[in-house]
Amino acid sequence: MNRFNKDFLDKLGDFNFDVLEKSKNSIYALSKDLKIIYFNPAWFKFADKNGFEKSAAHQTILGTSVLNSFGGIRLKLYFRNKYKKAIRTGKVWHHQYECSSKKKYRFFHQTAYPLPSKEGLLIVHTEMFKLPMDNMNRETFRAIEHRYFNAEGRILQCSNCRHTQRADNPEFWDWVPTWVKKLPANHKLTICPTCEHLYND
């Protein structure tokens, strides 16, 4: 699989391609219309370690919109606006987020570096810390359908922290490891009240 477009190197300016290639951080680049134009090797390692190889990694290819990789309309709009603003203004944008797996609590920092001449962005994801989930005192719940499936027959999960809303008591959002590992087909991604502040402007 190709990892960068033929004109990507011309867009880099002072960014060092060899440094990007050797980085342990997951890095990709976007064109000015937010299409993916580069992946570094660490991106594929991260995708493989996190089970994306059979699903998201095959859909996230060169030339596709990066917005396809965000779950839920709220996140798509948020990142589209932030990325477009960074390109337009030439200012670096920072964002911190949780990306936990079933077994590990993980917190990341994303930095969006504008490419020269408003040609796009270089996106760097840095893992800030990782802890075993049992160190987090995060109470876990079983995937019980009558508790979480709402009247429309869907579960609602937060795109950011991956907690699932209770249908029988909507103000509660639970950590359900089964659905962190694999969401059922009838799910909808949203933002929970705890994470709401992260996506307000």
Q: What is the tens place of the pLDDT at every residue in 124-180? A: 999 988 888 777 777 788 878 788 988 888 999 998 889 999 998 999 999 998 888
According to the model, what pLDDT value does residue 180 have? 86
According to the model, what pLDDT value does residue 168 have? 87
Query: Which pTM was predicted?
Result: 0.81
According to the model, what pLDDT value does residue 52 have? 59
pLDDT in tens, 42-52: 998 888 776 65
Instruction: Considering the chain, tell me which residue range(s) the CATH 3.30.450.20 domain(s) occupy.
Output: 8-132
CATH no. of 8-132: 3.30.450.20
According to the model, what pLDDT value does residue 57 have? 46
Instruction: Name the one residue in this structure whose structure tokens are 């307000």.
Output: 200
User: What's the whole-number average pLDDT of the chain?
Assistant: 88
pLDDT at 8 over 90: yes
pLDDT in tens, 111-132: 999 999 999 999 999 998 888 8
pLDDT in tens, 49-70: 766 544 454 456 889 999 998 8
DSSP secondary structure of the chain: ---B-TTHHHH-TTS-HHHHHH-SSEEEEEETTSBEEEE-HHHHHHHHHTT-TTTHHHHS-TTSBGGGGS-SHHHHHHHHHHHHHHHHH---EEEEEE---SSEEEEEEEEEEEPGGG-EEEEEEEEEEEEEGGGTT--B----HHHH--TTS-EEEETTT--EE-SSSTT-EEB-HHHHH---SSEEEE--TTTGGGG--
